[in-house]
Structure formats: C-alpha cells, structure tokens
A = this chain, B = another copy of it.
Amino acid sequence: MAFNSFGNLLRLTTFGESHGVAIGGIIDGFPAGVKVDFDAIQKELDRRKPGQSAIVTQRKEPDTVQFLSGIFEGVTTGAAIGFQIQNTNQKSKDYNHNTNVYRPSHADYTYDKKYGTRDYRGGGRTSARETANWVVAGALAKQLIAHININAFTSSVGDIFIDKPYQELDFSKTDDNIVRCPDAVSAEKMIAKIKEIKKQGDTIGGTITCVAQDVPVGLGEPIFHKLHAELGKAMLSINAVKGFEFGSGFCGAKMQGSEHNDVFTEGGKTETNLSGGIQGGISNGMDIYFRVAFKPVATIMQNQQTIDADGNITEIHGKGRHDPCVVPRAIPIVEALTALVLADFYLLNKTRRA
C-alpha cells in the first residue's frame, strides 16, 4: 500500500511530524551516476522555507537537508537515498491550546476519529512541513530530467488574476518579487492584497499555474497512469489544494469540438494547445500546463466557534505564526511534484519498447 509513498519506479517515502525530532524521506529507484548539485537542492528548500518575506509566516526554520545515503563522492549510486531535515524551531507551547480542541477546516477532527489518537503539536503529521521533504526529492528529480524546464508561478491571489496567457510571461522574473508572480503589475496588487488580509488576521486563497517545457513525446501511460492523472493526484496531495485543471480545463467544458481540437501542423506540432501537451494520457511534445487551486489557510487570527474532543461547543482563536496566503511558498512544492512525476514517467518510458 505504502500510504506515505509517492511514485512508481522513482519513489519517495516520507516521515515526520511538525514538532518531532526531524522530518525526512527515502528516495528509491533513483538511477546511479547522477552528479548531485546540492546547492540547487538547498536553494529550492529556501524558496519554500518560512520567514523568507513579509507575506509569509514569520517562523524561522533553516530547513537544512542532510543526505544520509545513496550518494558517494557526490554521485548517486543507485542505492536508496535517505535524507532528513531537523526540526529546530518548534514553539510547542504555541499549540498547547489546541490539545483538546478541533480547529475548523483542519484535520484534527478526522485524525482523531480515524486513529483514536493524534500528535496535536503544530498539526503533527498533517502539517505542511511535510512538503519540505517533497521539495528535496523534487529538486533531485529535476537533476535527472535536466532537459525539461518546469516553471510554476502565482497566477492569482483572491480575485486578482494575471490577465495574460503564460506565453507572454518571462519565467525568469518569477522570483523577482515575494509573491512569485512573473507579471510585475499583478504582483504588486497581489502583495498589497495579502498584506491587507494579514492585517485583518485573515487569510486568502490563490492559484498556481505550472508549465513544463521541452518534455519529450511519449511520457505517461494509458488507462490508469495517465500523465495528467498522476499530475492531478500529485497536486491534490498538497495541503489546501481544492482543484486541478490542465490544458483547457474547466473552460474546455464549455467549448465545441470544432474550436477545441488542436489541429496538427508539420512535425507533429499543433496549432493550438488546448490539450495541454497531453493526449490520451501521453505527452505530445507541446507545453504541459495546468492550474492548481489553493483554499485560504484555515488558521486565522480571529475568534471562531468550534467543538472540543468531548463534543462541547467552544471558541478558538488562532495563535502562532501562520501564512496569510500559502501560494508564494507553494511554488517550489508544485515544481517539485511535477518533477517527480515527470522523472518517474521518464524512467518508465525506457521500458515500453522491446
């Protein structure tokens, strides 16, 4: 079953609670012979880490990854790659008030009912801290498929949307601002919006768009391992995600076939790309692009009604240091999972012809 595993040939298995000793994981099936760029991995972790800007949580965690195996003299050996990230800054006392109370729209209630017990400190296993593990594995996967370019960016915050197609954006500008939106005008509005929301002790949702370019034709497997289905599952595994669409997405459901079909041109390219780079579950060489919806963070600095473990109505008031909007720090997570999915299918595809 492997509840805590992701992927097939390239497989990440993880552990760790927000306030335990450490989080970490094991990357299985990573091929031998890849020279590892450790700085690139740490850089991705830094993009995800708390405390990096005024519009994210002010918790400070260095999030330094330590590799424990599978890499020898800087090169992967084909053996399992173990790694861990120490938990250094757990203010457990911030969470003591949650011991016996179910935070609305968190997973406290469902964990308690399912398991009969839970590690309530900082959300325990449900904490998005887990995603740091994914970023490590994804950053490594990127190095396996270095010929593929993966770029995610903030495409909306609340009702502020970039009003351009992604083709008009310069992805090299994504990290130029703290909201990670490559359109400077929209970015400014988004940042202002998040600051205003934060001041209210409230939170806000947003969307991330991800584009994978230079993907070879043939990645993905038909029927139950379609490329977009695995990407969708990956994105829906991220905390706070409520929706996934690729190519024409939900808009495609309003269209007619005659306008939606991607007409072939020479060389197997298509004039339009409403298919989103995937046909029949298999990459066709065009850009793969998709959009991911994130709900507003559930922890707010306002009073909310809730219940305690005995079912009594009570009130809760958010404490601690939380993100007013999860989207800026989720960019590297979206990219990491995309890389893991593509790298897995890249390896699989080596076995599909005799």
Interface, chain A (partner B; CB < 8 A): 1-6, 8-9, 11, 13-17, 20-26, 28-29, 31-34, 66, 68-70, 72, 75-82, 84, 102, 104-107, 109-111, 113-119, 124-126, 130, 144, 156, 158-159, 197, 200, 202-207, 217-218, 220-226, 228-230, 232-234, 236-237, 242-250, 252-258, 260-268, 270, 274-276, 279-284, 293-300, 302, 304-307, 311, 313, 347-354
Whether the Cβ atoms of A246 and B243 lie closer than 8 Å is yes
List of B residues within 8 angstroms of A8 by Cβ: 1
Q: Which of B117, B224, B236, B295 makes the CB contact (< 8 A) with A260?
A: B295
Whether the Cβ atoms of A236 and B247 lie closer than 8 Å is no
Whether the Cβ atoms of A265 and B1 lie closer than 8 Å is no
List of B residues within 8 angstroms of A302 by Cβ: 258
The 6 A-B residue pairs whose C-beta atoms are closest, nearest first, are A107-B280, A15-B82, A243-B245, A203-B257, A32-B115, A110-B282
List of B residues within 8 angstroms of A224 by Cβ: 2-6, 237
List of B residues within 8 angstroms of A276 by Cβ: 242
In the complex, A102→B285 CA distance in Å? 15
In the complex, A347→B32 CA distance in Å? 16
Q: Which residue of B lies closest to A114 (CB)?
A: B218
Q: Which residue of B lies closest to A17 (CB)?
A: B69
Least distance between A342 CB and chain B CB atoms (Å): 14
